[in-house]
Chain A
């Protein structure tokens, strides 16, 4: 939480529209963006409120990442009253995300906090004083939602791996610290080669994570979605309708040659990652399958659960059991087959789930998919404008933090190689540990102290 550093975020709704815009604001905005921008224009000297055509280039590889239009608005004549650069990329998800990832890599620019552009605009006098309360509301609501997203991630696989990584680093840190603070204590003395090895291992693990991120296995964007319901309620046809209608990106995971187990779709610009789609296609008896470990964990992992009920039948005991199980989860209830007479007792369903999360659907007649789309939008984005901040950015944020943590570890390794003392190498290790902590929202200082004293026997 710095007051005057440089921040960036995608400021258009992700996945929608022909272009996407990344907004960068802060004292280093122009200079930092210039280092990635190849163009005929000289950005450093460019006038305010001018637009420039060029390419975003990865300085590490020299590779051209994206063709863009770049707008410079120098403070105070900008939204935040700071120097602002806006980068317009092609629409869709991939392009804008890659550009943002690149901008965040060096750490010179950081990802904006929820509502931060508005906050700066306010603090810099660009927004009327009477709006103070509105600004506060905005920060709170956005933060709360970001927090709930972070929480969800904190239960996931990625967070487990990050926690394990951090644990390894904190053990290393505690060991370094005990050497520093208790120099006469008979613990194994910390050597540069030991630090180097441990940092090397951590680096390799981050590389694995980043690689899986690139392959989309762990860090892939999208709302993790499970489709559940009794046999023959229409899950399979719903799936097919979603996939066909929405030009699915189908992924083939190596090693599971038998079939596809996950599918990606974008529903009106919202990316969904559908879980266990093979399972839905394969077996007709999903209720039974819910008992199976894999499906259960898929259900637990899901950010969104689509519960399909047959509107043409009355509620089955299995339906009730399923509804019971799903209570308190983010569920959209799809009453399928509404082209036929509705027999099902909707009031009963409404006892469990809010009525605005219940959608009447006919997969056969292709009715109701639009409503499903708007319900999901409401659940996850609250409003059009904010959609940028969350789903995508939290992943971009992860990638940025992983890259930064990796760089810190590389710095630590290099420092040990040229004979820098361990207490100074510690700075880089600790930075890596904190960067990983930011991913999962852990707080910092006290736990290191705790670790030192639980790991080592110290006394007077």
Chain B
């Protein structure tokens, strides 16, 4: 039977991308933390694509770094390709994307965890939660170890009652043939948590020596790579290219001929899959008129010949997968090393969580990552760090930290999950953010580093560096305001060269920089800046000046909305007695129990009239309660 195995402040179940961030944040905040994983060799494993970042996701990595998390630093150490995407578009959607050496990524993360104070990494499968007085106070493992804690964070990814499906073949399994976690699912259900069944999938991996790269297009990394972490200043990582090819008519024919063997269509899969990452069979059925689909071949690391076949996620039987692969130009003689598969798993309905990611039914129990219905390493890590922070703060008797929608994509992600829920695996997109121009890749530190510092995840030294940067950017903007530019010969020559209208009267450098054709570099030619200004700072100055009009507009919206966000709703409010709320609003408000009027206004089925009624009721309620003392 069970034995007492140790006391901790916080226990994190699962050492994927959510679990690693949660455990590191909690331990770094001084909470004694246990990180438990089914298999120690799977810490920070990437079961699907060997890459991190891209639009919205890359923003999240920057935000995690700005808060003092690990993902940014770790990918900076282990990337084998770095590309800045969307450089032809506005600064808000510039997005860094890295190809990872997925093995190195794991090793570095594991090492960091092992070296972190207050953090214990252990192999073991959590099977049950210990509940006392309605609160979660520990866990029991398969081997009978009982660990006690004041908060538990569950980050089980796709392991909960995981089931792998390839064609007619189906078996209980976590990702990449790992042991699934069966009993924990039941334990969560018994606590009254509602679970749903989601599905995701991964493409086959192939041997690089059997690819004919001459039939594909090379996709190199950036010559001067940028980094995710504000701490990384330099890297001499060697970069490897990716390769682009396309499906052929033959590919489409093979898939069409074998649709009856595809579990997606035969009914073998019951879980809801994400519409944004469909399998190749799905794409060919839904977009039948598209003659070919892109396939990217991505190396999985420096010390391996395995390639990830992006665009070919599938749950077709193994033999069909091989035929599909070999119908693709460049892959005619390819050897398949791992078969693609679909995986079904249990997820928690995320509207059962507070914005702190603590469950409403069991105080002390937090969930984060794919278990909350999201998809993607970055989305998982973003939730992980917040769950870790809030678990540690709970233990320390401090109120939770909640990132606002206007502060970061992490805020958008969590608010969407806990307020609206999701009917399929949730992926972040920049279009989910209403203040996209404020949530830029470049200003994640300005948005979140003060928070990271306040909660103790950003060091004094880093914070000082940050405040210096902020001050210097502000100073430079002030300086440009005061620099007079006169309609003189050298100015005319420059403006003529840029192809912008000549100057009629004296202006200042700041106004000149607002012209679309003029860049900071041009202005510098007229009035050099201080030598201590870094590239990073110059970029910030340019963006803040050039897009000031649009930025101010969004800021105004934020301020207006802030009044609603700040209007708190007491948690003991009984919506059933609020007369005249619509039936649907009553139901949904009672289920979600929003913390603020702002959050309430985003709940489905709650109309502006319901919000007005709620405001009036709250006024009445507060006065009555105040009168009662």
Contact = CB atoms under 8 A, between A and B. Distances in A.
Interface of A: 1-5, 113-116, 119, 122-123, 129, 132-133, 135-137, 139-140, 143-144, 177, 179-186, 418-424, 427, 445-446, 448-449, 452-453, 457-460
A180 B275 contact: no
Given A114-B609, A177-B431, A423-B89, 12 more contacts: A113-B608, A113-B609, A180-B430, A424-B550, A427-B436, A445-B434, A448-B431, A449-B432, A453-B276, A457-B287, A459-B293, A460-B277
B466 to A, nearest CB: 26
B55 A181 contact: yes
Nearest to A123: B619
Interface string B521-562: 000000000000000000000000001001001100000110
A424 B90 CA distance: 7
A423 B56 CA distance: 13
Interface in B3-41: none
A5 B432 CA distance: 25
Nearest to A143: B609
A343 B65 CA distance: 86
20 contacts: A2-B564, A5-B560, A123-B615, A132-B620, A133-B579, A135-B616, A136-B613, A137-B579, A139-B609, A139-B616, A140-B580, A180-B430, A181-B430, A183-B85, A184-B85, A184-B296, A422-B90, A423-B90, A459-B277, A459-B282
Contacts of A133: 579
**Which 4 residue pairs of A and B lie closest in terms of their CB atoms, listed nearest first?**
A421-B90, A143-B609, A457-B287, A132-B620
B356 interface: no
Interface in B599-629: 601, 607-609, 611-613, 615-617, 619-620, 623
Contacts of A129: 620, 623
A177 B276 CA distance: 13
A129 B85 CA distance: 57
Contact of B616 (A113, A132, A180, A458): A132
A27 B86 CA distance: 41
Contact of A460 (B49, B93, B553): B49
B465 interface: no
A424 B430 CA distance: 12
Given A114-B609, A180-B431, A181-B430, A457 B286 contact: yes
Contact of A424 (B56, B437, B580): B437
Given A122-B616, A419-B517, A421-B90, A427 B609 contact: no
Given A181-B55, A427-B550, A119 B615 contact: yes
B431 A449 contact: yes
Nearest to A135: B616
**How many B residues touch the partner, as a band?**
35 or more
B437 A445 contact: no
Contact of B612 (A116, A419, A449): A116
A452 B88 CA distance: 21
B429 A181 contact: yes
B313 interface: yes
B462 interface: no
B290 A457 contact: yes
B619 A132 contact: yes
Contacts of A144: 609
A139 B89 contact: no
Contacts of A1: 564, 601, 608, 611-612
B279 interface: yes
B559 to A, nearest CB: 10
Contacts of B580: 136-137, 139-140
Contacts of A119: 612, 615-616
B564 A3 contact: yes
Contacts of A2: 560-561, 563-564
Contacts of A139: 580, 609, 612-613, 616
Contacts of A182: 55
Contact of A459 (B279, B612, B620): B279
Given A129-B623, A186-B294, A418 B613 contact: no
Interface in B266-290: 275-280, 282-283, 286-287, 290
Interface string B286-308: 11001001101000000000000
Contact of A420 (B283, B430, B516, B611): B516
Most buried by B among A2, A135, A419: A135
Given A457-B286, A460-B277, A422 B612 contact: no
A123 B623 CA distance: 11
Given A136-B579, A459-B278, A460-B277, A419 B563 contact: no
Contacts of A116: 612
B429 A177 contact: yes
A249 B49 CA distance: 70
Contacts of A135: 616
Contacts of A427: 436-437, 550, 553-554
B92 interface: yes
Given A122-B616, A184-B85, A4 B432 contact: no
Contacts of A458: 276-278
Contacts of A449: 429, 431-432
B263 interface: no
Contact of A180 (B48, B55, B293): B55
Contacts of B55: 180-183
A184 B86 CA distance: 9
A392 to B, nearest CB: 20
A459 B580 CA distance: 45
B201 to A, nearest CB: 9
Contacts of B120: none
Nearest to A130: B620
Interface in B81-101: 85-86, 88-90, 92-93, 95
A99 B434 CA distance: 33
Contacts of A460: 48-49, 203, 277, 310-311, 313
B51 to A, nearest CB: 10
Contacts of B89: 179-180, 421-423
Contact of B56 (A132, A136, A181): A181
B620 A457 contact: no
A175 to B, nearest CB: 12
A145 to B, nearest CB: 11
B294 A185 contact: yes
Nearest to A2: B560
B615 A459 contact: no
Contacts of A179: 89
A282 B196 CA distance: 65
A446 B422 CA distance: 11
Given A181-B55, A418-B516, A140 B275 contact: no
A453 B516 contact: no
Contacts of B296: 184
B436 A423 contact: yes
Interface string B58-87: 000000000000000000000000000110
Nearest to B86: A183
Contact of B431 (A5, A181, A421, A422): A181
A186 B287 CA distance: 14
Contacts of B286: 457
